[in-house]
Structure 1
Amino acid sequence: MTTLAKRRPAPPRHRSWPWCRLCSGIALDLGSTRTRAWTSGRRTILDVPTVTFPASPGEDATCPIQRGTIVDTPGTARMLDRLLAPRLPRHGRPLLILTTPVLGGVAYRAEARTAVEVLRPRTVLTVPTARAVAVAAKADLARPLLVVDLGAHLTEVTLLVDGAVTDARRTALGTSDLDDRTAPTRITDAVVAMVTGMLDQDHTPHTLHALRRGTLLAGGGALRADLTGPLGEGLRAPVRPVRAPHTAAVRGAAQLLRAAHAHPSSTQASDAPRHRPLHGAL
């Protein structure tokens, strides 16, 4: 007599990314004037002014991030909730990759993580903006690389060696400060001075090799010929604006997000959200 084998129950069907509750993700770049985000499954980048939504009628919208510092954490959270919560799967716990100013320090990361909790992330990974830019540019990180981020309110110069931040400088000066009375050379001179300081204090050949290789330019300022031309002349070295430099950081974070989903063992879901750096910063 033949015994029929007991049928095994069919395994639960895995919903495709991004609608799987455990596979949704957000790449986020919080700038002083623009916030840019990419959510899994979307083809376009959300690019909006960094302004708060009033908590109650009669209040004015304000700028919650100034010169690379989060000055209004609850306002930042309200902005993110309004912009991104409707774009996430219902009851989802997204993996969130957040770009951070290289010299933002622990204080910036703490305030940013508090703000993004409104999105109920299961894991928050932080990545230095310069590293995200290099990823977006598909740069060879096995060689030293200089990255200059010409933002609206902040300009950063970062040296990456083997993909890690080894030196960084910044100035609270950006393209929004340029007007009829302020020449673009004020920014280019500041960048040249920062790179010169890095060269003087680097007892290895890394900074010099990175400079000769060509400086990678990102941020909205990289779209301005009146900045990129004089900067190359001042550095006496080639400068290479990345494609769509104003969105390079969020695009790099999105690539890292896709890589994290492709290797989910490193970011398995848990009941409590986790927070850790994706790559070390100063």
Structure 2
Amino acid sequence: MTSLGSRRLSDWTGRTAVGIAVDVGSARTRAWTPEHGLIVDVPTAPSGTARKAVRRGKIIDPRAVSGVLGDLVCSRVGGRRRPTVVATIPVACDEVSRGELLSVLEVLDPETVLTITSVKAAALGARADLAQPLLVVDVGAELTEVALLAGGCLSGARSTALGVVDLGRNLPVSQLVREIAESTVQLLRGDYGPQIVDALDRGVLLTGGGALRPEITYNLARQLGASVQPAPAPHLAALRGAGVILQSARRHPGAV
């Protein structure tokens, strides 16, 4: 699969959508439109500072994030009608955090805002078959999520406040992988045991920036005793999936 910025959503679905897909991460903020491709891919921090605007998946400086989105998106998509916006959220996103994101997105003057969990978006972006149980492991900059999708719906998930930026002297890859394995075991011991077993037999989908590191893929496969498949361009998978939902929303507004 080619990179998101060089391929339009209409290549996958046959139609052109109108709107903006947004992925606000702890390290980078990205936005994409069907007409222009990847229009924003910048650090999620105020320009010229080291101050964080998002920490462990939570927006802590709404004004800074609004500035990043407003200045960059509007300069590239100005003069259009009010867009539909599809934004990704962490699986553990509560109503307060979701409200912060919706407030930030007001800078885009949206007609409609839809949210989708990053793990489901990543699965859609990887073009995974969601008819069967699927275990998605999303290793982001500061947050790692393990989620079971069954019948296309989020059945269970666990989050760990660790990510790629933590790797190094204080956090070896082996420890991060153990945290992922423990999250999987917790799901296995819950109400999702048989589905987790089926998902492990099928193989794990690895997404996020961590999927670009072969040592994570290798160690996770050994720890889980299952095949682990990194998504194509895994750091952009969630944004691609948000684009898929965007297309569905424009074609069938009442179905999303």
Per the TM superposition, whether the score is higher than 0.5 is yes
Shift of 1:48: 1.0
Tell me the distance in 2 between the aligned counterparts of 1:186 and 1:113.
34
8 A Cα contact 2:39 2:76, kept in partner: no
Tell me the distance in 2 between the aligned counterparts of 1:128 and 1:228.
22
- C-alpha deviations, 1:62-91, integer Å up to 9, x for none? 321000111111221111111111122415
Tell me the distance in 1 between the aligned counterparts of 2:201 and 2:208.
21
Tell me the distance in 1 between the aligned counterparts of 2:131 and 2:96.
30
Alignment-mate amino acid for residue 249 of structure 2: A
Question: Could you tell me which residue of structure 2 aligns to residue 108 of structure 1?
Answer: 97
- C-alpha deviations, 1:190-213, integer Å up to 9, x for none? 000110111111355111111111
C-alpha distance 226-32 of structure 1, shift in aligned 2 (>3 A): same
Range 114-123 or range 171-180, more displaced: 171-180
Question: Could you tell me which residue of structure 2 aligns to residue 150 of structure 1?
Answer: 139
Range 60-69 or range 181-190, more displaced: 60-69
Question: What stretches of structure 2 of length at least 5 have no aligned partner?
Answer: 1-9, 11-16
Question: Could you tell me which residue of structure 2 aligns to residue 173 of structure 1?
Answer: 162
Tell me the distance in 1 between the aligned counterparts of 2:57 and 2:64.
15
Question: Could you tell me which residue of structure 2 aligns to residue 139 of structure 1?
Answer: 128
User: Partner of 1:36: helix, strand, or coil?
Assistant: strand
User: Partner of 1:47: helix, strand, or coil?
Assistant: strand
Q: How big is the alpha-carbon RMSD for the aligned residues of Structure 1 and Structure 2?
A: 1.9
Aligned-residue sequence identity (percent) comes to 42
User: Aligned match of 1:25 in 19, 23, 44?
Assistant: 19
Alignment-mate amino acid for residue 160 of structure 1: L
User: Partner of 1:140: helix, strand, or coil?
Assistant: coil
8 A Cα contact 1:24 1:92, kept in partner: no
**Normalised TM-score (structure 2):** 0.89
Question: Could you tell me which residue of structure 2 aligns to residue 191 of structure 1?
Answer: 180
**Normalised TM-score (structure 1):** 0.81
Does 1:75 find its partner at 2:64? yes
Tell me the distance in 2 between the aligned counterparts of 1:61 and 1:211.
40
**Which of 1 and 2 has greater Rg?**
1
Alignment-mate amino acid for residue 40 of structure 1: P
Q: Report how many aligned residue pairs link the two structures.
A: 241
Tell me the distance in 1 between the aligned counterparts of 2:110 and 2:76.
13
Question: Could you tell me which residue of structure 2 aligns to residue 266 of structure 1?
Answer: 254
Tell me the distance in 1 between the aligned counterparts of 2:162 and 2:180.
10
- C-alpha deviations, 1:74-121, integer Å up to 9, x for none? 221111111111122415200000010011121221100000001100
Alignment-mate amino acid for residue 18 of structure 2: S
Range 238-247 or range 102-111, more displaced: 102-111
